[in-house]
């Protein structure tokens, strides 16, 4: 199954570009599933011998382990070998219920990000490259964070990966198409689009369910020098089909399979 992830990495372009110090943002629109894109980021990082630091607000470690087994890697085994670090904020909050009543939501989020930095520091002290993956950043609004605070935390994480030249950051955030454009989740995703070096949007079909196609992918490299080097258009659009152990990607209107 590794060749599937290789093909998707090639379509995204992350197999060619040095992603150190860079931010990948994935916007997952409601009724679509971006897990295979995160699996591709993970696969590409592991192939280049990067450590993985998961911050899982939404899906569990078991979810990504099961995805990984389908596509050729074993996250549980890598965790045992200390190649994968997992931070699950919801477990953090539950285990600290005794003080959360006395602190503001922002204090709680601050403590979570302090935990992230501490784990990150442990990795980089060994001079190991690392990929930080956050799924799903929009959940911090459930803890009472506002737009200004959430943007601050993204900048904070971005500064970490820029400071240490062997690390990269991937953030997935969820949006709802039916929400107004001025909703917090949509504004946040729009802001991330402009902060990211690579912005990928995954969304369901406009026409609804189809047995042949699962949805649309939009790929937007924000760096002119990279697009010029590889002769990539500013925006590339594809359609994809998910099945249990397959991801099929096509250019719109084309019959040739890309991945």
Helix axes 184-195, 147-163, angle to 10 degrees: 20
The residues near 103 (Cβ < 8 Å, ≥ 6 apart) are: none
Q: What pTM did the predictor assign?
A: 0.87
Q: How far apart are CA 36 and CA 114, in angstroms?
A: 29
Q: Give CA separation, 99 vs 10, 93, 95, 107, in Å.
A: 47, 9, 10, 10
**Consecutive H or E run containing 240:** strand 235-243
Q: What is the mean pLDDT of residues 217-229?
A: 91
What is residue 53's predicted lDDT score, i.e. its pLDDT? 92
What is residue 102's predicted lDDT score, i.e. its pLDDT? 47
The per-residue pLDDT of the chain, averaged, comes to: 83
Q: Which of 40-49, 95-104, 183-192, 225-234 has the lowest mean pLDDT?
A: 95-104
* Contact present, 185 and 41 (Cβ < 8 Å): no
| Domains along the chain with CATH numbers | 4-257 (3.40.50.300)
Collapsing DSSP to helix, strand or coil, 167 comes out as strand
pLDDT digits over 114-170, tens only?
888 888 888 888 888 999 999 888 887 777 777 888 888 888 888 888 888 789 999
Helices (H), the chain: 2-12, 35-47, 61-70, 75-80, 89-95, 97-100, 105-125, 147-163, 184-195, 224-230
Q: How far apart are CA 167 and CA 130, in angstroms?
A: 5
Helices (H), 81-215: 89-95, 97-100, 105-125, 147-163, 184-195
pLDDT digits over 68-113, tens only?
888 888 899 998 998 998 988 777 666 655 554 445 556 777 788 8
């Amino acid at each position: 199954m590794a060749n599937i992830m290789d093909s998707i990495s090639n379509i995204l372009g992350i197999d060619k570009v040095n992603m150190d110090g860079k931010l990948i943002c994935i916007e997952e629109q409601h009724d679509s599933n971006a897990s295979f894109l995160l699996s591709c980021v993970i696969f590409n990082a592991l192939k280049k011998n990067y450590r993985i630091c998961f911050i899982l607000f939404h899906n569990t470690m078991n979810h990504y382990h099961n995805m990984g087994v389908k596509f050729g890697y074993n996250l549980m085994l890598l965790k045992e070998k200390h190649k994968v670090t997992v931070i699950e904020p919801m477990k953090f909050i539950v285990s600290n219920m005794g003080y959360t009543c006395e602190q503001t939501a922002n204090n709680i989020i601050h403590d979570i990000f302090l935990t992230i930095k501490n784990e990150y520091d442990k990795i980089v002290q060994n001079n190991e490259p690392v990929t930080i993956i956050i799924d799903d950043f929009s959940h911090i609004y459930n803890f009472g964070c506002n737009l200004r605070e959430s943007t601050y935390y993204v900048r904070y994480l971005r500064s970490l990966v820029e400071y240490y030249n062997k690390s990269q950051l991937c953030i997935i955030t969820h949006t709802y198409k039916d929400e107004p454009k001025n909703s917090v989740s949509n504004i946040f995703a729009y802001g991330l689009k402009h902060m990211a070096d690579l912005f990928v949007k995954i969304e369901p079909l406009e026409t609804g369910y189809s047995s042949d196609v699962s949805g649309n992918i939009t790929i937007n490299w924000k760096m002119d020098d990279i697009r010029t080097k590889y002769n990539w258009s500013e925006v590339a659009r594809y359609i994809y089909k998910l099945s249990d152990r397959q991801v099929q990607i096509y250019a719109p209107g084309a019959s040739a399979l890309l991945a």
